[in-house]
Amino acid sequence: MLKLASLAAMIAFTGQSALAMNQLDYERPHVQGELLITFDEDLSESQKEQLIAESGGSVIHEYKYSNSVLVKLPETNGFVSSANFLAEDSAVENISLNHIFSINVTPNDPNESKQYQNELIGADKAWGITTGSKDIVVAVIDTGVDYNHPDLKDNYWSNPGETGKDSRGNDKRTNGIDDDNNGYIDDHRGWDFANNDNDPMDDNAHGTHCAGSIGAVGDNGIGIAGLNWNVSIVGLKFIGRGGTGTLGDAAKAVEYAVTMGFDVTSNSWGGAAEKDTATAKDPLFAAIKAANKKGQLFIAAAGNNGSNNDNKKLYPANYDVDNIISVAASDSRDRLASFSNYGPKTIDLMAPGSGIYSTSTRSLFGQIYRSMSGTSMAAPIVAGAVALVKSANPDLSAKALKQRIISTVDPVSSVRSKLKSGGRLNVYKALNQ
């Protein structure tokens, strides 16, 4: 999965915030000069602007689903004093460094059986009921998706509000206008939040691998079959070529998915919060809560540390929001993978995540498929299962859909005391409940 170096110092401030400010971990990777700030709900826009201006800062981004902003402060020795100035104001409820995400995929065995998971989770039988629907949209919030991949391009989403001709006869995809009024210009195939442009092409491979498990085109005579032979996949990129991205950009990506009303998001990234202080005050958590209200399921990887998330929390998998399905990884022998995190109170189920064969960006040797391992690989398999069940039951609520996925697992005795459900995903049983 993508590992967050630090989910950030999500610290609620009262009148004694200067002490709390010292808890910000400047040693962990973060974007120099940037802070995520959540203001008191009663503060007016002019008061916010004045406070930021007095700190010497400027607003980079204002979040939709929380009273939060991303602020740029002077990259000088005055950064700490400016940050303290903001933290010490009682109008500031929460403050955080803009910490960085990075890739953490567990090494895999290239000789693992290709797509063993399809039989294990009952996909081969499920396809007798449905092979998916283009009406279901799955957002892969990750390193982007290779939308030109021969096994993905026919299942790649196209924004209906940014395609076709505008009133002047120009192509909406390239006319430089926000035709659908969602705040993003020409986002006809999603958005790249890492580079702030409309091209979420994957230059890393991680997101493309996730996308293939969800919806590589089936029965097309090439490559592999995703869980959904028919589906709409959109890449929301916030991790760049070097394998890093920010908490602030992750929140923007989730907000975009909520605004666009996608059915499910696949999230193979996360990390520990500083001193376990992640709260409802941060924009990422607020965006996930907005997704919950919108009826959008959020599938989250549990992490690859081999540890218990009940004791050592990892976010966003550990956020307490009803729409989150947290996923551990199993291996080809139906055991909890050695690298996988677990948690009898916090992790819902496991799905195959060891030696998963899927689509990839082109390697130096011309290969466009590869095996990878991690809870990063397990989460999109659950996301794909959600999409497949939704295709056959379009009126099923997010709550009912989550319940189906979790309640129909195949019990596995070895994880009875390690996972909330005590079992491994079975998509066929979920379809037949």
- Positions annotated as catalytic residues are 142, 206, 376
- 């283009």: which residue's tokens? 134
d(CA 157, CA 432): 28
Element of type H or E holding 66: none
d(CA 171, CA 162): 8
CB proximity list for 190: less than 8 A, separation 6 or greater: 139, 145, 157, 159, 198, 200, 234, 235, 236, 237
Per residue, what are the HEC states of 2-39? EEECCCCCCEECCCCHHHHHCCCCCCCCEEEEEEEEEE
At 172, the amino acid letter reads K
Bond prior to 316 in cis (omega within 30° of 0): yes
d(CA 426, CA 73): 49
At 99, the amino acid letter reads H
- List the beta bridge partners of residue 410: 424
d(CA 374, CA 330): 9
Residue 170, SS3 per DSSP: coil
d(CA 79, CA 126): 56
Which among 264, 272, 270, 273 has a CA at the least distance from the CA of 236?
A: 264
What string of DSSP letters covers 309-334?
TTTS--BTTT---TTEEEEEEE-TTS
d(CA 69, CA 64): 9
